[in-house]
Amino acid sequence: MIAGVVLAGGVGERMNSSIPKLFHNLLGKPIIRYVLENLSGLALNKIIIVVKSDLKEKFQYTCGDDFVYVVQDKPLGSGDALKRAIPELENFSTVLVVNGDAPLITTEILESLISSHNADNVSATVLSTVIDDPMHYGRVVKDELGNVIRIVEAKDATEREKNIKEVNTGAYCFSVDDLRLVIDRMTNNNAQGEYYITQLIEILSSMGKRVNSYITDLGSLALGINSRFDLSLAIEKLLTEKMEELMHGGVTIVSPENTYIEPDVRVGRDTVIEPFSVLKGNTVIGENCTIGPSSYLLNDDIGDRCEVFYSVVKNSKIESDVRVGPFAHIRDGAIIKSNAAIGDFVEVKKSIIGSHTKAMHHSYLGDADIGERVNIGAGVITCNYDGKNKHKTIIEDGAFIGSNTNLIAPITVGRGAVTGAGAVVTKDVEPDTIVVGVPARILRKKEEGGKGE
């Protein structure tokens, strides 16, 4: 049985931030969530996260109940963090250990690390990578046969060791039995006065146990996020991958370098993403849509053949064949049904807009339930808020709401009713009735089956 351990007890000083490092936002999700998703793709029987005691609740809240949380009271080093997890490794033969700050080490890479570890039947395997400028990373020191004999941190390395270009990514496989033999033998007499996980490699090797390295070609991106600059490189890498995936799936992205798409967004074939568009969260877009230029979509569900032009849509559903924009704002659980049109400077909040209904210019539609084939004139406002509570507006099928009508909610405008331009409607309007004025009064009933005017 294989367990996973995520070392997440460090301080992350180099971010220069009041936010703990692993909670920094990477394309809409905290860094730690990527690491956990990558581990969750493996067949692990248990995943343990070692956290600082004061952040345990925050981790639990962010990462959920699928994991075992172990507290490291003091940040005594990565080796000490692993030691805290040992009691959780009862009945496990192998443990995969990863740094919590390395979101780009994918499930596939970790899978290969485990396979290599198992195939070679070694005591430990280090995931390493080769880079031109090994900077502050741990150097992987090998003997003539290619066995790893130690990993030396840059601050503790000799001049010769500093020239080694194979560096430790901070992911390892260990035999749990061997780990138990050496876990209490770490010392902290090194440049940083910490218990290094990497010292375990040296101790194992000195006992005659075999340690291998498995080299990934990911390069510096495998080395985790230590600074805001590293964060920007991770963002760039994940964005590029996402765009490639979408383009491969038949999506046109007119200007990838001017487009932002988060990893969980899905887009259908032959949809075109115009420049300066931002697609976030769990947004799902159907086929043959045009999104942008300059649209912002967050957690939306959009059907086929829609156009979202210079607009903002958040947490809302848009069915098929809908036109939105320019400069519309649709939000908070709004539902726009098929063939509707939401035009410029129209805000739709928590409202249902029926099929073939049009609201083309300068409106606020909040807490409204609007039927099919309704015409919302320019400047129509649902006055949904009385200073204390929000109230509902219901507009039934086929109604015609004249320009600059104010609808004082709660209110219902009946099927086929008409409000005159500038009306302030304070009372429910019967079906097929024309109201005008301030406050609006009945002008007349529409003729039987007639459209009124």
Contact stretch for ligand UD1 (CB under 6 A) within 40-48, 164-172, 362-370, 420-428: 164-172
* Interacting partner of 26 out of Ca ion, ligand UD1, none (Cβ under 5 to 8 A depending on kind): none
Whether residue 314 contacts residue 327, with contact meaning beta carbons closer than 8 Å, is answered with no
Strands (E) in 176-269, as ranges, are 211-216, 252-253, 260-261, 266-267
Query: Rule CB under 6 A: which of 185-224 touch ligand UD1?
Result: 196-198, 223-224
For ligand UD1, which stretch binds (CB under 6 A), given 37-45, 73-81, 112-120, 435-443?
73-81
Exactly one of 10, 103, 286, 366 binds ligand UD1 (CB under 6 A); that residue is 10
> Is residue 334 helix, strand or coil?
coil
Q: Does 8 bind ligand UD1 (CB under 6 A)?
A: yes
Residue 224 binds to Ca ion (criterion: CB under 5 A): yes
- Could you give the 3-state DSSP secondary structure of residue 176? helix
Contact residue for ligand UD1 among 94, 99, 277, 294 (CB under 6 A): 99
CB 156 to ligand UD1: min, Å: 10
Does position 167 interact with ligand UD1 (CB under 6 A)? The reply is yes
Task: Select from ligand UD1, Ca ion, none the partner in contact with residue 416, using the beta carbon and a kind-dependent cut-off of 5 to 8 Å.
Answer: none
Q: Maximum distance among all alpha carbons in the chain?
A: 99
The one-letter code for the residue type at 162 is K
User: Does the footprint of ligand UD1 cover residue 138 (CB under 6 A)?
Assistant: yes
Taking the C-alpha atoms of residue 285 and residue 283, their distance in angstroms, rounded to an integer, is 7
What ranges make up the beta strands (E) of 132-179? 139-142, 148-152, 166-175
Q: Which of residues 37-66 bind ligand UD1 (CB under 6 A)?
A: 50
Q: Measured between alpha carbons, how far is residue 200 from residues 122, 164, 281, 415 in Å?
A: 14, 20, 40, 77
Candidates 1-9, 89-97, 360-368, 433-441: pick the segment binding ligand UD1 (CB under 6 A).
1-9
Which one of Ca ion, ligand UD1, none is in contact with 346 (Cβ closer than 5 to 8 A by kind)? Answer: none
Smallest distance from Ca ion to CB 116, Å: 23
Q: Which of 34, 67, 92, 137 binds ligand UD1 (CB under 6 A)?
A: 137
Catalytic-role residue among 24, 117, 361, 391 = 361
CA Rg value for the chain: 30
Return d(Cα 165, Cα 325) in angstroms, integer: 53
The smaller minimum CB distance to ligand UD1, of residues 80 and 347, is found at 80
Measuring CA to CA, how many Å separate 215 from each of 154, 202, 326, 373? Answer: 19, 18, 50, 63
Q: Among the candidate windows 48-56, 107-115, 224-232, 311-319, which touches Ca ion by CB under 5 A? A: 224-232
Q: Does 72 bind ligand UD1 (CB under 6 A)?
A: yes
Give 79 or 224: the residue with its C-beta nearer to Ca ion.
224
Single-letter code of the amino acid located at 410? P
| Binding positions for Ca ion, 24-53, rule CB under 5 A | none
The per-residue DSSP string of 347-402 comes to EEES-EE-TT-EEEEEEEEESEEE-TT-EE-TT-EEE-B-SS-B--EEE-TT-EE-
**Is it true that the peptide bond before 75 is cis, omega within 30 degrees of 0?**
no
- Is 356 an active-site residue? no
Q: Please give the residues from 61 up to 120 whose contact with Ca ion meets the rule CB under 5 A.
A: 101
> Which residue has 């992350």 as its token pair?
12
Could you say whether residue 100 binds ligand UD1 (CB under 6 A)?
yes
The dihedral over CA atoms of 400, 401, 402, 407, expressed in degrees to the nearest 10, equals: 160
The number of residues that bind Ca ion (CB under 5 A) is 2
**Cβ 419 vs Cβ 404: under 8 Å:** no
Q: Name residue 29's amino acid.
A: K
Contact with ligand UD1 (CB under 6 A) among 81, 231, 425, 435? 81
168 in contact with ligand UD1 (CB under 6 A): yes
169 binds ligand UD1 (CB under 6 A): yes
Query: At its nearest, how many Å lie between Ca ion and the CB of residue 59?
Result: 17
Task: Give min distance, CB of 143 to ligand UD1, in A.
Answer: 19
| Residue of 222, 208, 31, 244 whose CA lies nearest to 130 | 222
Contact letters for ligand UD1, residues 391-430 (x by CB under 6 A): ----------------------------------------
For residue 3, CA distances in Å to 26, 45, 85, 114 come to 26, 6, 10, 11
Question: Cα 348–352–358 angle (5° rounding)?
Answer: 70
Positions that interact with Ca ion (CB under 5 A) = 101, 224
Catalytic residue IDs = 361
Positions that interact with ligand UD1 (CB under 6 A) = 7-10, 50, 72, 75-78, 80-81, 99-101, 137-138, 151, 153, 167-170, 196-198, 223-224, 226
